[in-house]
């Protein structure tokens, strides 16, 4: 009989769920988070189960692990595990050579140093300020009156970099509005924003040590402007993962679920 294992990552802006079997990833789902994290978990798990033929409900899973800030609000989970551990396990599953992980989510940023087995050696976290997180990029895209995806590409057309000096997300938004009003080229301003975020990443990452291979997870890993800027600031190549980096917490949770079910 085929067995299935689930991972559910309830974040501040999105809910993610993945299903594994004994051979690997079978299905995934991602939705915008609801106000109630329980509702988010129920909806995203129902959606991912619908994508697996023969899997009628989450009750048919051999094991389910919850993670993310809402990990304690996944009613069906057999176990709740920190997103730091799950992102590390997920990245190691995708690429066992990863030694440094930058996780940039909706409202926090983490730098994680991995051991050879994918366990967490050390981590540093910035959850006191929204600068450089998904919420920050959402605010910047609204300031430029474009979609988040369009803003992530804007700096790729820059001819120079206009520095954005403010470290606070609120002050940075005010500074950017001022730069736009003075008719500076939007791509050059966007390049300055990406450079400012990359420097925040570097400041956090050096606390745990930047060791190759380095990868980025979380929703901001899809920001193409940031991914182009980071290697120059970190002075190291950023390696992509074979699975959607925004799903990495859920992937790690599912890998751990499969291990728990086997033990």
- Judge whether 67 and 44 are in contact, CB under 8 Å: no
**Residue 240 DSSP code:** P
Per-residue pLDDT of the chain (263 residues; tens, 9 = 90+): 789 999 999 998 999 999 999 999 999 999 999 999 999 999 999 999 999 998 988 899 999 999 999 999 999 999 999 999 999 999 999 999 999 999 998 888 999 999 999 999 999 998 666 667 888 899 899 999 999 999 999 999 999 999 987 666 677 888 899 999 999 999 999 999 999 999 999 999 999 999 999 999 999 999 999 999 999 999 999 999 999 999 999 999 999 999 999 98
Same domain, 169 and 254: no
Same domain, 105 and 234: yes
Same domain, 196 and 122: yes
Structurally, how many domains does the chain consist of?
2
CA–CA distances in Å: residue 2 to residues 19, 55, 59, 62, 112: 12, 10, 14, 10, 34
Same domain, 74 and 11: yes
Same domain, 208 and 168: yes
Beta pairing class for 214-217 and 5-10 = unpaired
Same domain, 77 and 198: no
pTM: 0.93
Q: Is residue 91 part of a domain?
A: no
Same domain, 34 and 163: no
- Structural domain range at position 174: 98-240
Q: What is the CATH number of the domain that holds 137?
A: 3.30.420.40
Same domain, 107 and 218: yes
Q: Where do the DSSP E strands lie in 93-213?
A: 100-104, 109-114, 120-126
Q: 84 by DSSP, 3-state: which?
A: helix
Distance CA 171, CA 250 (A): 34
């Amino acid at each position: 009989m085929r067995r299935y294992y689930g991972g559910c990552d309830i974040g501040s802006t999105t809910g993610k769920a993945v299903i594994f079997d004994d051979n690997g990833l079978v299905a995934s789902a991602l939705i915008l988070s609801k106000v109630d994290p329980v509702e988010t978990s129920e909806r995203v798990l129902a959606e991912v189960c619908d994508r697996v033929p023969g899997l009628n409900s989450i009750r048919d899973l051999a094991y389910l692990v919850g993670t993310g800030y809402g990990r304690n609000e996944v009613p069906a989970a057999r176990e709740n595990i920190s997103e730091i551990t799950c992102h590390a396990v997920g990245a190691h599953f995708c690429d066992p050579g990863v030694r440094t992980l930058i996780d940039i989510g909706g409202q926090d940023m983490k730098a994680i140093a991995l051991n050879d087995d994918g366990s967490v050696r050390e981590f540093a976290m910035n959850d006191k300020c929204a600068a450089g997180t998904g919420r920050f990029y959402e605010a910047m895209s609204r300031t430029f009156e474009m979609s988040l995806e369009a803003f992530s590409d804007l700096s790729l057309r820059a001819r120079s970099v206009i520095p954005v000096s403010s470290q606070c997300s609120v002050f940075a938004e005010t500074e950017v509005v001022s730069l736009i009003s003075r008719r500076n080229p939007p791509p050059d301003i966007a390049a300055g924003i990406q450079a400012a975020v990359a420097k925040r990443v570097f400041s956090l990452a050096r606390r745990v040590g930047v060791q190759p291979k380095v990868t980025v997870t979380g929703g901001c890993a899809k920001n193409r402007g940031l991914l182009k800027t980071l290697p120059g600031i970190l002075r190291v190549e950023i390696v992509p993962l074979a699975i959607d980096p925004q799903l990495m917490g859920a992937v790690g949770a599912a890998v751990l679920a499969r291990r728990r079910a086997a033990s």
